[in-house]
Amino acid sequence: MKPEKLSWVTIPLLISVVLSILGMLSLPFIGVLLNIVFGAAINDSSTSASDAQTLGLVRFFTGSTLWIIFFFSLAWTVFQFFTYRAVQEGKGWARVAAIVIAILGLLNFPIGTALGVFMLVGAFDPAVQQYAGR
């Protein structure tokens, strides 16, 4: 039988997965906006050739950074989803992973902080500890 406070761990994990997906979906729009800004700066009449070259390099590295952020976000979202599934099944490693996710979530003020506090309270509940240790 699943403990009552298990939902204090699983629901915030599921909300974190949804928020991560929404964050990843916003990355293409950020890329388009940055391309518009850099394009306007490069084509400005007051921009010198060396400044345009520098802006082109910054544009390239910004695009590369967005791709790196996308792949790290994708990996983090998959990890959160597998942790969510494993916590529901009562796996011991998933409780520890949920604690790590909750502690890192505390840094994401204000929503991540609230989700992290709920996950920590649920993860340290004795019934949840026993359920995850079976």
pLDDT tens-digit map of 96-131: 999 999 999 999 989 999 999 999 999 999 999 999
pLDDT at 64: 93
pLDDT at 131: 94
Confidence of residue 133 (pLDDT cuts 50, 70, 90): confident
pLDDT at 43: 86
Alpha carbons within 13 A on the beta-carbon side of 25 = 6
Q: How far apart are CA 66 and CA 62, in angstroms?
A: 6
Confidence of residue 73 (pLDDT cuts 50, 70, 90): very high
Tokens describing residue 49: 């050739």
Tens-place pLDDT, residues 13-34: 999 999 999 999 999 999 899 9
Location of structure tokens 């796996």: 91
pLDDT at position 134 over 80:
no
Question: In sequence order, which ranges of the chain are alpha helices (DSSP H)?
Answer: 7-42, 49-89, 92-105, 111-123, 126-132
Q: How far apart are CA 63 and CA 130, in angstroms?
A: 46
Tens-place pLDDT, residues 43-58: 888 888 888 889 889 9
Contact, 55 vs 38, CB < 8 A?
yes
